[in-house]
Chain A
Amino acid sequence: MGSTSQKHHHILPTKTALTIGALLLVLTAITVWIAHIDLGPFNFVIATAVATLKASLVALYFMNLKYESSENRMIFITSFLFLAIFIVLTATDLFFRQEVSVHGTFIAEGSSQSKLKKPWVSTPELVAHGKEIYAIQCVACHGLEGKGNGPAAAALNPAPRNFEAVDGWKNGRKPTMVFKTLKEGLPPSSMASYATLPADDRWALTHYVLSLHPQVEVDSPADFARVGIDPNQESVQEKEDPKISIELAMSQLAHAESGMERGAHLYHSRFEQVQEGPFIGKYLYQKHCLECHGDHGKGGIKVSVLGVYPVAFVATHPLNQQSPSMNSQEVFNQAVIRGIPGNLMPGYGNLSSSELKGLYQYLKAENE
């Protein structure tokens, strides 16, 4: 016969086991019952607290942790400590990360201050000017009439805003908020930042899209304050703080000595294998162009990204040697930066020259 010392081991009395079992069932009933009462965020807190109480009962009595050696107890509890660190640090990073950008003199003078007087007040001239820019920059997605049904809309989820409807505007319909949306975009949706458009053009666009519905919303002083505008002043003293991503700033600092241009090293951290030119081009193409121009610039929308039925195609220009935009890097740059008026091609004014070069090289290589 083996050692008798196992007899000193604590044996769970049947009565205790039954009591704990009954307690666990009662707590389960309480959890289900409380879930049917709407207590807002407290539902989650209570549910987790009750679950923790139940888990503690199981661990302490059924798993005998109460009578376990302190060493084993510590081992098990430490795992939850590490789980807590895991949760807290990841959540802190995700939910409290402020804007991922740094201020600096890095970006070009693309954005500018408004030169108009009181551009936040809608005028027929501004609306007319906005309509012109709209036809270049916005129609592809938002449609000719602003119904959010442009040719590229089919590929987008969430769908582009329908300006003829009052509800659902992410930042609301107040002019300052629409202006803010144009400046910052609506990540992670496909609504890009149009900060590279001159501020006056953005105000014009704001008034144009708001004119598509008769309901007018007026900015309160607090709204103006939020975007840094003093409505009593004649012109906008809006600060267009130049900002770039931390990633880019880091790579710029790292390569400051070699004088490398922006873009070429932007993708260092993201991809292990860094190739110049065409590689960046491929990345940018997939990010900005693929939705309309299709795989490898062959034209048409890539069918697999469509979420609608019946499947819609846009007869976009294939980006091969015959395309006039592919004649030279200069012509290509103009088309990409400014867009092609009347052809649904929006402008992508925030690409750097090396990014444009990479994009051009990629398309050239694809068509050889």
Chain B
Amino acid sequence: MLQEETVIHHHAHHFTSANHEFEAAKQGMWIFLVTEVLMFGGLFVAYGLFRGLYPEMFHEAHQHLAVHMGALNTVVLITSSLTMALSVSSAQKGHKVSSVRYLVLTLILACCFLGVKYFEYSHKFHDGLLPGGFFTNTEIKSPKASLFFSLYFMMTGLHGIHVLIGMGVISWILRRTLRGEFGPSYYTPIELVGLYWHFVDLVWIYLFPLLYLVG
């Protein structure tokens, strides 16, 4: 356990204090997350309207998604959110080793998530359950079922891209943590990456019941 009393972070000259800088950065992150809500929001609106228009089609099409895979991924992502939160609080307390450990755990869980997604996607590709004109499945009778898979791939795809980006920024703060750049006096990047990662979890929390558990 290292008390990072040696951490020195000079706040940028246009801020009055380190705290001022931290608060500004955090507010920027929240505003970014607002734009994220609205970006995913468009897809959720499309989902809601099409589900309202074609409830039977949604019911039939969703049965071709693997609920156990989706549930597993929910557990994986929630756990990764927990490890991320623990990593942030470890960094805030100056516990570098456990912060690193939790970041690595988070990365591993993110890989698991994408691994499960890979199996799901390849299964869909194999069955011809693809968006729009690429839809070639013959088992589903609803003529508009390709719409469901358009939404499925758009929503989980955009989410998957977010997971990938998340892994990138987590790797970045992991490197910086290993270099001893963070401690109780400066942990802004790790906290902000934490916010982003929890948001990715938050989106999946809605995607799972909406796509996999259509009543």
Partner-B contacts on A (CB < 8 A): 1-7, 9, 11-14, 17-18, 20-21, 24-25, 28, 31-32, 35, 38-44, 47-48, 50-51, 54-55, 58-59, 61-63, 69, 71-72, 75-76, 78-80, 82-83, 86-87, 90-91, 94-95, 157-158
A79 touches B198 (CB 8 A): no
B19 touches A47 (CB 8 A): no
Q: Which residues of B41-96 have CB atoms within 8 Å of chain A's CB atoms?
A: 41-42, 44-45, 48-49, 52-53, 67, 71, 74-75, 78-79, 81-82, 84-86, 88-89, 92-93
B75 touches A28 (CB 8 A): yes
Query: Can you show 12 pairs from A to B with CB atoms below 8 A apart?
Result: A1-B5, A4-B185, A5-B17, A5-B18, A6-B184, A20-B82, A44-B215, A48-B210, A58-B198, A62-B198, A75-B30, A83-B44
Please judge, given known A-B contacts A6-B19, A38-B215, A62-B81, whether A1 and B185 are in contact too, CB under 8 Å: yes
Partner-A contacts on B (CB < 8 A): 5, 7-11, 17-19, 22-23, 26-27, 30-31, 33-34, 37-38, 41-42, 44-45, 48-49, 52-53, 67, 71, 74-75, 78-79, 81-82, 84-86, 88-89, 92-93, 143, 184-187, 194-195, 198-199, 201-202, 205-206, 208-210, 213-215
B92 touches A87 (CB 8 A): no
CB distance from A231 to the nearest CB of B (A): 35
How far, in angstroms, from A78 to B78 measured CA to CA in the complex? 24
What chain B residues lie within 8 Å of A95 (beta carbons)? 52
How far, in angstroms, from A86 to B202 measured CA to CA in the complex? 19
B52 touches A94 (CB 8 A): yes
Closest to B68 in A: A32
B86 touches A31 (CB 8 A): no
What chain B residues lie within 8 Å of A25 (beta carbons)? 75, 78-79
A79 touches B202 (CB 8 A): no
The 4 A-B residue pairs with the shortest CB-CB distance, nearest first, are A43-B215, A21-B82, A47-B209, A35-B213
How far, in angstroms, from A62 to B88 measured CA to CA in the complex? 10
How far, in angstroms, from A25 to B22 measured CA to CA in the complex? 32
How far, in angstroms, from A76 to B34 measured CA to CA in the complex? 6
How far, in angstroms, from A55 to B33 measured CA to CA in the complex? 14
Closest to B81 in A: A62
B5, B49, B84: which contacts A91 (Cβ < 8 A)? B49
How far, in angstroms, from A75 to B53 measured CA to CA in the complex? 33
CB distance from A189 to the nearest CB of B (A): 11
What chain B residues lie within 8 Å of A6 (beta carbons)? 18-19, 22, 92, 184-187
How far, in angstroms, from A35 to B7 measured CA to CA in the complex? 50
How far, in angstroms, from A13 to B187 measured CA to CA in the complex? 17
B10, B23, B38: which contacts A82 (Cβ < 8 A)? B38
How far, in angstroms, from A6 to B25 measured CA to CA in the complex? 13
Closest to A157 in B: B143
Closest to B92 in A: A11
Known: A7-B185, A51-B206. 14 other contacts (CB 8 A): A2-B18, A3-B11, A3-B17, A11-B89, A47-B210, A47-B213, A51-B209, A72-B26, A79-B37, A79-B38, A86-B41, A91-B52, A94-B53, A157-B143
CB distance from A108 to the nearest CB of B (A): 34
B48, B78, B84, B194: which contacts A24 (Cβ < 8 A)? B78
